[in-house]
Structure 1
Amino acid sequence: MLAPGSLPTLDTPTSPDRLAELTREVQQAHAEANLAHQHLAALTSSLREGLLLLSAELRILLINDQFCRLLGLPLPASQWLGVPLQQLTGPMLEQVADPVAYAAEVANGPVGAPANTLLALRDGRTLERNMRPVALGEAAGWLFSYRDVTAHRQAESQRDAQRKFYETILDEVPVEIAVLDEQRRYVYTNPQAVPDPAHREWLPGRTLAEYCARYGFPMELAAQRDLMFEQAEVSTKPIFWDDRTPLPTGDAVYHQRQFKLLSGAGRGLPYMLGSGLDVTARVQAEANSQASEAARREQQEFMQQVLDTNPSLVFVRDAAGEVVFGNRAMRRLEEQNTQAILSAEVQQAKSRDAAGYAAVDAQVLATGQEVTAEERSTSPTGEERWFYTIKRPLVRPDGTVQVLGVSTDITDLKAAQLAAEQAAQARENFLANMSHEIRTPMNGVLGMAALLAKTRLNPQQQEFVRTIRSSGAHLLGVLNDVLDVSKIHSGKLEIEAAPFHLHDSMQQAVATLAMQAQEKGLTFGFKPFATDEAPWVLSDPFRLNQILLNLLSNSIKFTTSGSVWLRSFLVGETEEELLVRFAVQDTGIGIGADALERIFESFTQAYADTTRRYGGTGLGLTISRALVTQLGGELGVTSTIGKGSTFSFTLPLRKTDEPAPVVADAFDTGLLRGVRVLLAEDNPINRMVARLHLMQWGVVVDEAEDGLIALQKLRANPYDVVLMDIQMPHMSGIEVTQHLRQFADATQASLPVLALTANVFKSDNEKYLAAGMDDYLAKPFAEEDLYAKLVALLRQPAPGLALAPLPAYDLTRLRQDAKGHTAFVASMVQSFLTHMPPMLQKIREATAARDWLAVADLAHHIKPNLLTLSIEAAIPAMHTLEELPTLMPTPDEPLRQVAVAQLLAAVEHALRELPNEA
């Protein structure tokens, strides 16, 4: 037997058996080695890791296919066995992401290299590489293993990103978040829950009791939270509660908190989720709201007491006309109306009242503007009460618009007003009748005197005629003064605006009295203010001269020696206006201090014997002061007994340019020769005066002594113009004209009509024009005025060339008020189309019942709508219908009937055309 490890020598004889045995052992060893090699190859090839075994000389002793696949090397792996590592480096440099770093690492060798590293490849994969030394018999070696961790790294990266995302959300969410374990120790808190980073870093692993003890919060908070924690542990739903955390400042913070047991909670895992929402602002707002609500209720009660104490009706009505609010006075009125049994007549009256309320409400809702109105309310007993009502739109919080109204009972005031109006109307009727009765004969006196003056008269006869004309003019002046005072009292004194040269106008006023002053031996002077430019102004030259003539006449009348002066002074000037002071100074008898104010009263003079000694009516100063006031000034006086008086006033006069000169037609130019005129006049003297004037101009005159004859002659004969007296027997001039305008023949129906009237009130003249007359001339008239009026009428377009009729409406004014809001214009038009037809029907019914008071009320209600839409054809009729009748039955009923027809025709015309605008 050989010793273990010893080899037989060649020279030692070996038995064949031994040799055979040795051969078998060698074969068995080879077989076992091959089997081991196969097992190792099978093991290494089945691994998911790539393996690389290097010898001490850095030759490849072991390499598997997974290594080649991971690093992109050619297969099979067996071709790399025994190859130096250096040959493997080249192909690997092509695969790694950082070849430079990898080459340096290979050059340094495995000695000193880290055991675990990550290797990034160019294709984006990441390999985890582990290196450890191994013993190869007595030699050393290195075993490298490579594993693809790309998916794992990506998953970790996603988890890290997701974790950071949720951490960011939890850090930024405006809700306090806390996670506790089963021992009620904090696991996590977000910055909203614990803003101080130091506190937040200290808190994990501590309980709320420890937190409260450390930072000085009440321990009651911890006790309450422990109780809520216990409830949440046994509940399947979140547990909610509110708590109050006091602050060192004395204020407090309020939170709405909840605990919820986490699903899957277990020992050592997050157990309870807590959250808290800061509701301090809400709690404070609720407290403020409760305080505000209490204050609001108190204010409401206060306002209700105020409104209920107010005797006026205060109410709110919706668009349907229903009362949604009323104070005590309103409620009482409604109770009276609902509790009583109403007669049919009262029910009809109340329906009329309601229609009036609805019309005003509709106007408020349509225009969005405040409206004032006088509204009538019929009591259950049939008594009428009048209210002055102010209505305005009330916008509710939901955007709907209702009507807020305040109505004050003016029944007594209305009765007093009606009595005053009746008295004023009676006075006006008296003055109109007086004017007619005086002017009618005065027209004959002055007309005849004018005609007589044109005949051959001896000097004595001429003097007689001058006396007649002077006395008549004086009497006419007295009458005009009385009428002016009446106009002043009734507010009907008209002021015109016309351009005139101030100094020239004053000179004309002075010129008419210069002779009178000269006859008394007085020095009479006129001194206007100096100016570089001609003072052309815009005002009423006739009224200004009337003032100056009154003052100068008074001064001349009461001055027996010395002088009378008219002076003007420029006391101020702007680019648009002159401020001029006028002064009339005399050296007359003077006025005592006790009479300075009394002299401006109507029919009053300074002393009882003044009228007897000096004459006059005592109206001149009254009229002058009223005229000065209407022109924008104030008339004053300074005076000393025995030394004289100075009357002065200051007026603002608007500057204007000199108008283009107007060449007046020469008197009696022959234009009237051959003209056919019907003279309708019941007074024979006035007919004679008018006939003689007309005949001297070559006019062909036909006469009618009353209205009925005039109408018959108009039907039977052709004329060019009609001179129509107003007050005539059988038929008035207005009625004749209304019948004329209804003739079937268009030429006859359009015949020019000139009213000859002794009435001088503007309202009367408007009635004449509304009735269809073309112009008017007041008696007594100057012949040149009559001539000019006739020429003007005959120059109007012929019937076949009549001017185009007035448009049915004009929305220009409405569009200007709307300031570009087309929806507002459309709503106004639609409101008119909706509400106007029922109003017209009520007017028809009231007209049929001859209830002219109701017609006047209805006309007054619709007038703003007609003005808004500029329905001009209806306006003249409105002047007639709005005026309340003072006598029953109504004397001017035929005129009102015609006015109703005109009004209905004009409005219905507009209703037919307005849908094109809606």
Structure 2
Amino acid sequence: MKSSPTVPFEFSDAARAHQRIQELEQELQAAKEVARTMENRLGHLINYVQEGVLLTDTDGRISLVNERFCQLWDMPQPAAYWIGRPWQEMAALMKGLAADGAAFEKRIHTLRALGQPVFNERVDLSDGRILERDFIPVQQVDTLSARSMIRLRDATDYHRAAEQLRAVASIPGQNPNPIFRIDGEGQVLYNNPAASALHAGLNETDQNRLLAKIQRLASAALSQDAPWQVDIPVGSSFYAVFVVPFPEEGYANLYLVNITKRMLVEQELNHAKDEAEAAVRARENFLANMSHEIRTPMNGVLGMATQLSKTRLDGRQQDLLRIIRNSGQHLLSIINDVLDMAKITSGKLEFEQTAFNLCDSMAEALQPLVHQAIEKGITVAGTPLKATCSMPWVVGDPYRLNQVLINLMANAVKFTEPGGHITVVGQQLAATAETLTVEFLVTDTGIGIPTEQLDRIFEGFTQAYADTTRRFGGTGLGLSISRAIIEQLGGTLTVDSEVGKGSTFRFQLTLPRTAPQLAATAASSFDTGALRGRRVLLVEDNEINRDVARMLLEEWGVEVDEAENGQQGVEHYQQGQYDAILMDIQMPGMSGLEATALIRQLPDAAKASVPILALTANAFRADYVKYLAAGMNDCLTKPFEEVELYQILEKLLPPAAAPKSSYDLTKLRALAHGREAFVVKIIRSFLLNMPGSLVQLETAAARGDWQQVAAIVHHIKPGIESLGVQDVAGALQQLEHEVPALAGVEQGAAHTAVARVVAQVKRALHELPGELPAE
């Protein structure tokens, strides 16, 4: 029997190998299924964790990434988009979001190259967030093929909280101010470096003092359970200590702040304040003294000029007298301006509160300047306030308001050339039952003001042009005073100007309204005769000012006695009877205030209450208040106008009994033996001839021709005696017999005698027509 062929060994091995291959392929497929299942499960799971997770494979492709990872990096695509893409593609987007893109990119390459794990690494983003990442290099995760894994989480809140905690924890240590914590037993629980440095910088004595002070402060704060502050010296320095108790914890914190510089500055400000106040007082005293020293002789100059104007003068003499008066008034205005500036800078500018007609007051104030402008060849026009305001009665200070308008108008006249034009306008802007709002404008065609100088012209002692004082005069105070007055009254003063074309100054004010008042008595008729026969004591150390006051008083029929100082004044007053006292303030020996105090203390109530009028060269309201407080009834500032003196005396003196007659016809009637025609003839002759004789008498006295005075007195004496003219016998005797022998010596007494004779005879001339029969 033939045997079957044998199967080769190789064939058998190949079959088994093929079978094994199939088995392995099946196992591989199963493994892949498991891997896919695991990947699916892992991908499903990591989408629910709070961290971001990224896996890259050995080829550098993203094999796994969750949505949280994409959200943390603000990826515009979902996680599925990135599966299988190169990690560099995602890194490029991350780089743009990182705070430092270049450093971020470099760090990624470094981590992958090193292959070392890194945990909790901080990544700062440009939007301010802070991420933390873990970089974990891996070769195989079970059946997953991976090279690295990145875990990512948002640590912004954590890092910010940690930074705040670190900042808070470092405050005491970093604080440059000393901080101590002391318990109720006085133990120092804590002191920061600044406190240690403070303590170490002190000597042993000052260290013990500091410790004792802060222990007492801590104990007091804990016992009172209230924070408080105190300043203490520490060595050569000063510290403000803020004490904050924590009773529940059983300690108090003390925070020290070095205030040495502040204390030194305050001390310097106080040495400075005292010096400034002393300087202000010194300036005020200087200005008061200057005012007094200038006003005193000015009173004599202007007063004598007034008396001279009442005598017979030729044209040349009248011109010279006018120059004297104008120059004196100009000097007085400068003094007033300087004093006003001093009052403004010290906040003591005074304002009256009186009722007045605003329209009439301003118009009257402008009249002299209008005439001055016309004389200069300037045309003046305008609109008066009454054109738009039917009820211009207000309450305020007419002098100060007039001062402003006068300053503006005076400047317009000063800076406008002949042929120019000035316009003054007053107009009502608004009115209520309580207030009146007005505006005044002064426009000129003068030289104008440069734009750069418009603000400076309102500064004190400032003028628009460097040569203004040389060309036009002035102190440069008028506008600054005017603006201060208007601003203190709640108004505004402004200017518009153009060089070569002129300027417009305007001010607006709102003033309280009031009902119309009775018109004041005209100054031209101020001598009502109310002072005739009154007896006044004049206490004044300046002889010229005594002469001025006496001449005025005697013209009004007042009998005057004189004293050269306060002591003499008190003695004269105690020995005589007087209706009023005119009291100077600054006198050698006893002052006017001291003399007034002694008079007010006299035991006789009637004599102690005599009216006392202060005649002073001081011009500050504070002085006026002081004089009233010292017991004086009123005050008149030198130099004064005669109408002011008359009206104040008339106000102070109570109504007098009917004055005695200025003449006595008893002797004449005795000579007439009942012939009334003879009496009338003599009176008519006296009325006809005596006025001319008085003019001759005054003219001779003015020339100092006392021989002629004696001759005239000798001629008129019989007529004066026959009519019984009162209170002139002594003066006539002096002028007829004593004065010529003096040869010009003691002319003051001679002038006084002339004034008495003239005053009494004029009074008789005024009253004698009543003795004549009606025609």
TM-score using structure 1 length = 0.42
CA positional deviation for 1:509: 2.4
**How far, CA to CA, are the matches of 1:464 and 1:525 in structure 2?**
32
CA positional deviation for 1:500: 2.4
**How far, CA to CA, are the matches of 1:437 and 1:663 in structure 2?**
33
1:739 and 2:598 correspond: yes
Any idea what the Cα deviations from partners look like across 1:866-891, whole Å, max 9, x if unmatched?
Answer: xxxxxxxxxxxxxxxxxxxxxxxxxx
DSSP 3-state at the match of 2:492: coil
Aligned residue in 2 for 1:513: 369
Map 1:795-874 → 2, pairs under 5 A = 795=654
**How far, CA to CA, are the matches of 2:437 and 2:291 in structure 1?**
37
1:722 and 2:578 correspond: no
1:527 to 383, 390, 395: 383
Any idea what the Cα deviations from partners look like across 1:320-366, whole Å, max 9, x if unmatched?
Answer: xxx97986543748999xxxxxxxxxxxxxxxxxxxxxxxxxxxxxx
Aligned residue in 1 for 2:345: 489
1:417 to 260, 273, 276: 273
Aligned residue in 2 for 1:683: 542
Structure 1 pair 747–531 and aligned structure 2 pair: CA distance change class (3 A): same
DSSP 3-state at the match of 2:533: coil
DSSP 3-state at the match of 1:583: strand
> Which AA in structure 2 matches 1:548?
L
2:443 to 571, 578, 585: 585
CA positional deviation for 1:572: 3.1
State which structure, 1 or 2, has the greater radius of gyration over its C-alpha atoms. Answer: 1
> Which AA in structure 1 matches 2:580?
V
1:706 and 2:565 correspond: yes
Aligned residue in 2 for 1:479: 335
Aligned residue in 1 for 2:248: none
Aligned residue in 2 for 1:642: 500
Contact map agreement 1:507 1:526 (CA 8 A) in 2 = no
Aligned residue in 2 for 1:789: 648
Structure 1 pair 543–331 and aligned structure 2 pair: CA distance change class (3 A): closer
> Which AA in structure 1 matches 2:416?
T
Aligned residue in 2 for 1:466: 322
Aligned residue in 1 for 2:401: 544
CA positional deviation for 1:788: 1.2
Any idea what the Cα deviations from partners look like across 1:106-142, whole Å, max 9, x if unmatched?
Answer: xxxxxxxxxxxxxxxxxxxxxxxxxxxxxxxxxxxxx
**How far, CA to CA, are the matches of 1:766 and 1:704 in structure 2?**
25
Aligned residue in 2 for 1:140: none
**How far, CA to CA, are the matches of 2:389 and 2:284 in structure 1?**
47
1:330 and 2:230 correspond: yes
Structure 1 pair 654–331 and aligned structure 2 pair: CA distance change class (3 A): closer
DSSP 3-state at the match of 1:518: helix
Worse-superposed segment, 730-739 or 492-501: 492-501
**Residue identity (%):** 55
Structure 1 pair 518–717 and aligned structure 2 pair: CA distance change class (3 A): same
Structure 1 pair 455–532 and aligned structure 2 pair: CA distance change class (3 A): closer
**How far, CA to CA, are the matches of 1:423 and 1:741 in structure 2?**
35
Any idea what the Cα deviations from partners look like across 1:864-915, whole Å, max 9, x if unmatched?
Answer: xxxxxxxxxxxxxxxxxxxxxxxxxxxxxxxxxxxxxxxxxxxxxxxxxxxx
> Which AA in structure 1 matches 2:376?
K
Map 1:363-378 → 2, pairs under 5 A = none
Map 1:35-46 → 2, pairs under 5 A = none
Aligned residue in 2 for 1:696: 555
DSSP 3-state at the match of 2:230: helix
Structure 1 pair 477–324 and aligned structure 2 pair: CA distance change class (3 A): farther
**How far, CA to CA, are the matches of 1:549 and 1:558 in structure 2?**
14
CA positional deviation for 1:715: 2.4
DSSP 3-state at the match of 1:635: strand
DSSP 3-state at the match of 1:330: strand
Aligned residue in 2 for 1:669: 528
**How far, CA to CA, are the matches of 1:550 and 1:491 in structure 2?**
21
CA positional deviation for 1:464: 1.4
Structure 1 pair 566–329 and aligned structure 2 pair: CA distance change class (3 A): same
DSSP 3-state at the match of 1:790: helix
Which stretches in structure 2 are left out of the alignment for 5+ residues?
1-178, 180-222, 237-261, 658-775
DSSP 3-state at the match of 1:517: helix
Aligned residue in 2 for 1:603: 461
Structure 1 pair 723–326 and aligned structure 2 pair: CA distance change class (3 A): farther
CA positional deviation for 1:578: 2.6
**How far, CA to CA, are the matches of 2:504 and 2:323 in structure 1?**
32
**How far, CA to CA, are the matches of 2:359 and 2:581 in structure 1?**
41
> Which AA in structure 2 matches 1:526?
G
Aligned residue in 2 for 1:617: 475
**How far, CA to CA, are the matches of 2:490 and 2:389 in structure 1?**
25
Structure 1 pair 674–326 and aligned structure 2 pair: CA distance change class (3 A): farther
**How far, CA to CA, are the matches of 2:624 and 2:226 in structure 1?**
46
Structure 1 pair 333–752 and aligned structure 2 pair: CA distance change class (3 A): farther
Contact map agreement 2:389 2:427 (CA 8 A) in 1 = no
Any idea what the Cα deviations from partners look like across 1:840-879, whole Å, max 9, x if unmatched?
Answer: xxxxxxxxxxxxxxxxxxxxxxxxxxxxxxxxxxxxxxxx
Aligned residue in 2 for 1:756: 615
Aligned residue in 2 for 1:370: none
Worse-superposed segment, 410-419 or 748-757: 410-419
TM-score using structure 2 length = 0.50
Contact map agreement 1:675 1:699 (CA 8 A) in 2 = yes
**How far, CA to CA, are the matches of 1:671 and 1:421 in structure 2?**
47
Contact map agreement 1:555 1:585 (CA 8 A) in 2 = yes
Structure 1 pair 745–575 and aligned structure 2 pair: CA distance change class (3 A): closer
**How far, CA to CA, are the matches of 1:676 and 1:574 in structure 2?**
50
Which structure is higher in RCO with an 8 Å CA cutoff and minimum separation 6? 2
> Which AA in structure 2 matches 1:630?
Q
CA positional deviation for 1:692: 0.9
Aligned residue in 1 for 2:630: 771
Structure 1 pair 456–763 and aligned structure 2 pair: CA distance change class (3 A): same
DSSP 3-state at the match of 1:740: helix
Structure 1 pair 643–746 and aligned structure 2 pair: CA distance change class (3 A): same
Aligned residue in 2 for 1:569: 427
Aligned residue in 1 for 2:766: none
Structure 1 pair 532–526 and aligned structure 2 pair: CA distance change class (3 A): closer
Contact map agreement 1:495 1:630 (CA 8 A) in 2 = no
Structure 1 pair 679–575 and aligned structure 2 pair: CA distance change class (3 A): closer
**How far, CA to CA, are the matches of 2:226 and 2:324 in structure 1?**
71
Contact map agreement 2:388 2:427 (CA 8 A) in 1 = no
Which stretches in structure 1 are left out of the alignment for 5+ residues?
1-304, 306-322, 337-385, 388-407, 799-918
> Which AA in structure 2 matches 1:705?
E
Structure 1 pair 503–789 and aligned structure 2 pair: CA distance change class (3 A): closer
Worse-superposed segment, 529-538 or 493-502: 529-538
Structure 1 pair 620–331 and aligned structure 2 pair: CA distance change class (3 A): closer
DSSP 3-state at the match of 2:382: strand
Any idea what the Cα deviations from partners look like across 1:399-423, whole Å, max 9, x if unmatched?
Answer: xxxxxxxxx9965443332221211
DSSP 3-state at the match of 1:710: helix
1:498 and 2:362 correspond: no
> Which AA in structure 1 matches 2:649?
L
Structure 1 pair 789–572 and aligned structure 2 pair: CA distance change class (3 A): closer
**How far, CA to CA, are the matches of 1:333 and 1:790 in structure 2?**
65
Count of residue pairs the alignment pairs up: 411
Map 1:189-228 → 2, pairs under 5 A = none
**How far, CA to CA, are the matches of 1:562 and 1:683 in structure 2?**
47
